[in-house]
Amino acid sequence: MAEPETDFPELNQDDPTKDLWRSPREDLQGDRPPGLINLNRYPMALGSHGIATFLQRPVALTPADLMAAEVDVALVGAGLDFSGGMRGAAFGPRALRSHDMYLPNVAEGLPHAHVMVDAMKDLVIADYGDAAVDFESVHRSIEPVRAIVREIVQAGTKPFVIGGDHALMYPDVAALSDVYGKGKIGVVHFDAHYDAGSFGLGHNLTHGTPVRRLIDQGHVSGHNFIQVGLRGYVPTGEDLAYMRDQGFRYHFMAEVERHGWDQVMERAIAEALDGAEFLYISLDIDVLDPAYAPGTGTPEPGGLTPRELFPLLRRLGAETNLVGMELVELNPLVDPTYVTPLVANRAVREILTGIAMRKGGITEPHYLSPETTDHGQG
Ligand SMILES: [Mn+2]
């Protein structure tokens, strides 16, 4: 039987709304001097108060803002959630913005107790708003997401992309590759799932295929994919063979079961240091056990605990040349509690703490503060 034909093309070129979603406001630059914009009236409030931004940080809207303020890290939302059939991850950025519980701008600072380093003080961190997303099309969303990530990197700032679903890994990592060069980026990929499938219902890019697309196009070599936390019932035969053929360094939960977490963590760090020049963390929140992260589209029981995940995130920030990260698949709509955004917020803070440690010269393996270990005798 012949395919039924549609008698119209995918896009109506005359539709005046065709590009509205990705056309920046004309007055965006205006007469305003470039720099950070603090949206809050008072210097101190709980995270539940004021105008919500990522980690209660000030806002930057243009590359000129990032450069004028010498921003170390820019968090950018990317609310794309239609490449896995599960709506709700588009609310991930908003959930993360609303779930920071810490008091900002406290005079004496708020150092991370494990290492006594305060990322909020030692780094310039900004909320870069949201990427343009065509909420009717994953494919049309690729280019604007790639462009905004590239723009952040070119401003000398590390991008933290807050999704959104895992299809984002393709434009995010491709943008890094645009700047640093093909094959120069390695990805430490935390996920219950391998995301290296070939296709989904004929679509080249879904939340299950970004890894394959990045390898197909030479942005990342298989050897520089370090995967942590895989479990469940995929991948099977052919895909697993593909991963082996490409030289993936993968760590299933079966390996954690055999060797324990500490050994797997050490292996992942050693592999991160053996390969790509620049590293990127792709953190699918479903790498955590659903007990800690029920707010996600494809939960997979038997996952990591925050106590296992957090030190590795922090260590990657401190001990490797990390140039950015993404947090994906946070779906607050299927979490009636606030635990998932709370844990996600902390995961982001762990990476920031690591980056602040490195900036301050602390790069020794698995550093912990003598003040908070062994009764302060550390
Ligand atoms: Mn994933």
CB-proximal residues (5 Å) to ion ligand 1: 166, 191, 195, 284
Quote the pLDDT of residue 291: 98
Q: Give me ligand 1 centre to Cα 11, in Å.
A: 29
What number of residues does the chain have?
378
Is residue 65 included in any domain, yes or no? yes
297: helix, coil or strand?
coil
Quote the pLDDT of residue 107: 66
Q: Give me ligand 1 centre to Cα 230, in Å.
A: 10
- Alpha carbon separation from 176 to 173, 223, 253, 261, 292 (Å, rounded): 5, 17, 29, 30, 30
Each residue's pLDDT tens digit in the chain (378 positions)?
666 777 899 899 999 999 999 998 888 877 889 999 999 888 777 878 889 999 999 999 999 999 999 999 999 999 999 988 789 999 999 999 998 888 776 667 889 999 999 999 999 999 999 999 999 999 999 999 999 999 999 999 999 999 999 999 999 999 999 999 999 999 999 999 999 999 888 999 999 999 999 999 999 999 999 999 999 999 989 999 999 999 999 999 999 999 999 999 999 999 999 999 999 999 999 999 999 999 999 999 999 999 999 999 999 999 999 999 999 999 999 999 989 999 999 999 999 999 999 999 999 999 999 999 999 885
Is residue 30 included in any domain, yes or no? no
Is residue 14 included in any domain, yes or no? no
Is residue 24 included in any domain, yes or no? no
Q: Give me ligand 1 centre to Cα 297, in Å.
A: 10
Q: Give me ligand 1 centre to Cα 26, in Å.
A: 36
Q: Give me ligand 1 centre to Cα 225, in Å.
A: 13
Q: Give me ligand 1 centre to Cα 140, in Å.
A: 20
Instruction: Please give the helix or strand (H or E) that residue 281 lies within, else none.
Output: strand 278-284
Q: Give me ligand 1 centre to Cα 190, in Å.
A: 8
- b/e sequence 13-45, b meaning 16+ C-beta within 10 Å: eeeeeeeeebeeeeeeeeeeeebbeeebeeeee
Which among 297, 363, 313, 312 is positioned nearest to 89, based on CA atoms? 297
Distance CA 293, CA 295 (A): 5
Q: Give me ligand 1 centre to Cα 41, in Å.
A: 38
Q: Give me ligand 1 centre to Cα 351, in Å.
A: 19
Q: Give me ligand 1 centre to Cα 289, in Å.
A: 14
Quote the pLDDT of residue 21: 94
Q: Give me ligand 1 centre to Cα 193, in Å.
A: 6
Distance CA 130, CA 146 (A): 12
Question: Which CATH number goes with the domain that contains 369?
Answer: 3.40.800.10
Torsion (CA) 308, 311, 317, 318 in degrees, nearest 10: -150
The residue with tokens 């070939």 is 198
Is residue 10 included in any domain, yes or no? no
Q: Provide the total of helices (H) and of strands (E) in the chain, helices listed first.
A: 11, 8
Quote the pLDDT of residue 17: 93
Q: Give me ligand 1 centre to Cα 42, in Å.
A: 39
Q: Give me ligand 1 centre to Cα 115, in Å.
A: 30
How many independent structural domains does the chain possess?
1
Quote the pLDDT of residue 319: 98
Q: Give me ligand 1 centre to Cα 179, in Å.
A: 24
Quote the pLDDT of residue 220: 98
Q: Which domain holds residue 371?
A: 42-376
Q: Give me ligand 1 centre to Cα 212, in Å.
A: 12
